[in-house]
């Protein structure tokens, strides 16, 4: 009765009545017809909730690719822990990416996975049991700690090569130069050479795509650097040159796009660099983080606009969902 009275009242004041007839209709994919993958992807736009946001992300991502808009991607290390590593490698190998910002664990685990794999475990496994059996856990992904023995040997050899070049050329390497050296060494090292083409660092080095790592001393890389620096006190990594290189790269593009998986330091480093050009013209967030605690990880795109990290008229969307669900769907929309 309330609804009917409301309708009658609205009809008497037509200027205030919005029929919504011109709005998209909520509708899911019809599986009674022959399955068409492209039409299935398009159907996400009309599903509602986060499905519609994913549909918007798909259309924006396709436009970025079709128009060859330089794409800057940031992601946290857990993306490399997971099967998203292969998708990132695909994008880098096929030159869909202009530059990468990531964390130390992404670099470590890309190297390690060239040596030995990670394994699917369980979120419910007891930490004490895993510790007793020398198994590290990343969510429901298990990592036997022997992997880090191989990584320590690998990275010490890389650090030694870098240190020699620094002494010879009297130049301190920045993180994207360190990442490039690691990528090149992956294709030569006895432990990584067999699977080097699975590495996003290798393809980034080969295709001259810089990989910035503002938190490079976090994790195992930082642990190993402690001991290396004890023996080589003048060994250093130049962080300021990363800022200069990334901002210069952004400022020299007519238009730019950002794809951000998760949050953390990698998200902020990329978005902050975009301030120098008054923000990105395109931006896609894939994240589970919420804005309610004021963290940069959860910060939405309206917040980024307030800092000129994203342009106010940008084509943009934030998809609140686990990136291991959304990112494969997104990448599938541009694959052959």
DSSP per-residue codes, 28-49: ---TTSPP-HHHHHHHGGGT-H
Q: Which two tokens stand for residue 86?
A: 């292969």
Mean pLDDT on 179-196: 97
Categorize the per-residue pLDDT at 66 as very low, low, confident or very high, splitting at 50, 70 and 90.
very high
Residue 315, domain extent: 2-332
The 8-class DSSP code of residue 218 comes to S
| pLDDT band of 310, cuts 50, 70, 90 | very high
The residues assigned a catalytic role are 309
Q: What angle do CA 323, 90, 204 make, to 5 degrees?
A: 105
Average pLDDT of span 121-139: 97
The structure's pTM equals 0.94
Separation between Cα atoms, residue 174 and residue 188, nearest integer Å: 22
Measured between alpha carbons, how far apart are the two ends of the chain, in Å? 54
How many structural domains is the chain composed of? 1
Cβ neighbors of 198 (< 8 A, separation 6 or more) are: 85, 86, 89, 113, 114
- DSSP codes of every residue in 183-215: HHHHTTSTTTGGGGGG-HHHHHHHTT--EE-TT
Q: What is the pLDDT of residue 124?
A: 97
* Bridge partner residues of 260 (DSSP): 74, 285
pLDDT of 2 above 70: no
Q: What is the pLDDT of residues 91-121, one digit of tens each?
A: 999 999 999 999 999 999 999 999 999 999 9
Domain holding 158: CATH number? 3.40.910.10
Task: Supply φ then ψ for residue 325, to 5 degrees.
Answer: -95, -50
299-320 average pLDDT score: 97
Tokens 């670099």 locate to 107
Here the contacts of 60-69 (C-beta below 8 Å, separation 24 or greater) are: 60/282, 60/284, 60/315, 60/316, 60/317, 61/259, 61/284, 61/330, 61/333, 61/334, 62/333, 62/334, 63/282, 63/315, 64/257, 64/282, 65/96, 65/334, 69/255, 69/256, 69/257, 69/281, 69/282
Q: Which residues pair with 283 in a beta bridge?
A: 258, 316
Distance CA 75, CA 88 (A): 10
DSSP 275: G
């Amino acid at each position: 009765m309330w609804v009917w009275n409301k309708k009658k009242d609205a009809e008497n004041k037509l200027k205030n009545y919005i029929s919504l007839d011109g709005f998209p209709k909520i509708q899911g994919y019809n599986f009674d017809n022959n399955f068409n993958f492209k039409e299935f992807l398009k159907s996400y736009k009309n599903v509602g909730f986060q499905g519609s946001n994913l549909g918007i992300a798909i259309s924006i991502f396709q436009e970025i690719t079709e128009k060859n808009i330089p794409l800057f991607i940031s992601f946290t290390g857990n993306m490399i822990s997971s099967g998203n590593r292969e998708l990132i490698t695909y994008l880098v190998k096929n030159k869909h990416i202009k530059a990468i910002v990531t964390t130390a664990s992404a670099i470590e685990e890309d190297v390690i996975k060239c040596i030995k794999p990670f394994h699917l475990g369980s979120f419910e496994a007891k930490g004490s049991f895993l510790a007793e059996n020398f198994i590290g856990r990343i969510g429901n992904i298990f990592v036997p700690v022997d992997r880090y023995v191989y990584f320590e040997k690998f990275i010490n050899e890389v650090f030694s090569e870098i240190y020699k070049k620094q002494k010879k050329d009297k130049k301190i390497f920045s993180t994207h130069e360190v990442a490039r050296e690691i990528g090149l060494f992956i294709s030569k090292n006895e432990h990584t050479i067999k699977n080097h083409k699975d590495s996003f660092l290798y393809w980034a080095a080969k295709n001259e795509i810089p990989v910035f790592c503002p938190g490079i001393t976090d994790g195992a890389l930082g642990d190993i650097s402690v001991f290396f620096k004890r023996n080589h006190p003048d060994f250093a990594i130049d962080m300021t040159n990363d800022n200069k290189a990334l901002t210069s790269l952004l400022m020299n593009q007519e238009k730019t796009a950002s794809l951000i998986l998760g949050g953390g330091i990698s998200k902020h480093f990329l978005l902050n660099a975009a301030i120098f050009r008054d923000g990105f013209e395109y931006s896609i967030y894939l994240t589970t983080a919420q804005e309610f605690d004021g963290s940069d990880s959860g910060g939405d795109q309206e917040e980024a606009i307030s800092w000129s990290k994203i342009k106010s008229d940008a084509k943009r969307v934030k998809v609140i969902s686990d990136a291991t669900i959304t990112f494969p769907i997104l990448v599938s929309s541009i694959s052959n």
